[in-house]
Amino acid sequence: MIYILVGLLLGLLIGYYSPITVPTIYAPYVSISILAALDSVLGGIKALEENSFDINIFITGFFSNALMAGLLAYFGDRLGIQLYLAAIFAFGVRIFQNLAIIRRSIVNRLFFKNNKK
């Protein structure tokens, strides 16, 4: 678990301090892809907490979710429909659900070690 958090922190620091900029025309596609990737990362952490993590599922889900979210936003933009708003809503709901499950699992593990479910 600590390796995941260190990797996430390291990735955020590298991303923040790197001189790479995204052109504004690609910003909606990149932002929705980042949301999809964050959803996959939190889903992986949730799976770790539930002892059901599979690296193959995580890797394929990470890249396919990010790619499909970017493509969904792109094709929606080409059709004149703001499909990225639906993706933002869906990923936002899943991110907060995963965070709640992770938080509950960590709190139960840290504070209620002796209690049985």
Res 23: pLDDT: 92
pLDDT grade for 114, boundaries at 50, 70 and 90: low
Res 98: pLDDT: 94
Residue 37 lies in a domain: yes
Res 104: pLDDT: 93
Residue 5 lies in a domain: no
Structural domain of residue 41, as residue ranges? 23-111
Residue with tokens 């899943």: 94
Dihedral, CA atoms, 32, 63, 95, 85, nearest 10 degrees? 30
pLDDT tops 60 at residue 117: no
Task: Report, as an integer, the average pLDDT of 65-79.
Answer: 89
Residue 82 lies in a domain: yes
Number of domains in the chain: 1
- What pLDDT, in 10s, does the model give residues 27-61? 888 889 889 989 998 999 999 988 999 999 999 99
Task: Report, as an integer, the average pLDDT of 58-77.
Answer: 90
Average pLDDT taken over every residue of the chain: 88
Residue 3 lies in a domain: no
Residue 55 lies in a domain: yes
Residue 65 tokens, joined: 């979710």
Residue with tokens 């593990």: 109
